[in-house]
Structure formats: structure tokens, C-alpha cells
Amino acid sequence: NAGVTQTPKFRILKIGQSMTLQCTQDMNHNYMYWYRQDPGMGLKLIYYSVGAGITDKGEVPNGYNVSRSTTEDFPLRLELAAPSQTSVYFCASSKGPYNEQFFGPGTRLTVL
């Protein structure tokens, strides 16, 4: 039981490049989330999903897209990377809205 896994662990992008951050969970959770954490700040919600095929925006969705074709996977797509997207990205999943969220180890992204 691996929990929530994220790939890659680290990535450096040039301005304008695109990439997909991968997130997979093996706990059969319906709810999945993407957060970003900037230095010295708390986590901010980018997008969330309450089940396969259902996604919605969080607090800071601009510059990102998501899809949820299966229960297990919730990839986050960055189009036209900008320096403001330099951050650590965390994926999380939970059984329901009032259950604890389990977090992945994070992806550290730098945009230069």
C-alpha cells in the first residue's frame, strides 16, 4: 500500500514550457486535491476532484489544468510555465470531505 505517490520529485522548467505532474493513489479514495506551497506560506488549493470525471477549481487555479479519468490518477498540467509557478506541489486524497487528507511527498518545481 503505497498511499499517494507523485512524480517527478524535482523539475526545472524554462519559461513557456509545459509539463504534467503525476499523482496516483491506491486507497480507492474518491476525493483528490492539488495544493501548492510557496516559501513561508501555507498550502493553497489549486484544483480538486470528487470522483472520476468531476473536477473543479480551488483558490489558485490560473495557469493549471487537471483531469480525472480514473479513481487512481489525478494529473496536474502546467501550460506556459511562469516564474510565479515556482513552488512545491502536493497531491492529496481522502475518503470523503470530512476525512483526513493523505498527502504525497511533493514535487519541487522551479521555473527559470
Q: Which listed range, 14-22, 50-58, 61-69, 73-81, lies at the site for another protein (CB under 8 A)?
A: 50-58
Rounded Cα gap, residues 37 and 109, in angstroms: 11
CB of 85 to another protein, least distance (A): 19
Q: Are 75 and 23 in contact (CB under 8 A)?
A: yes
50 binds another protein (CB under 8 A): yes
How many residues bind another protein, per CB under 8 A?
A: 29
98 binds another protein (CB under 8 A): yes
DSSP 84: G
Sketch the per residue contact string, 7 through 46, with another protein: x for CB under 8 A, - otherwise.
Answer: ------------------------x-x-x----xxxxxx-
CB atoms inside a 10 Å sphere around CB 1: 4
CB atoms inside a 10 Å sphere around CB 53: 10
Report how far Cα 6 is from the mean position of its chain's Cα atoms.
9
Q: Which residues bind another protein (CB under 8 A)?
A: 4, 31, 33, 35, 40-45, 48, 50, 56, 58-59, 90, 92, 94, 96-106
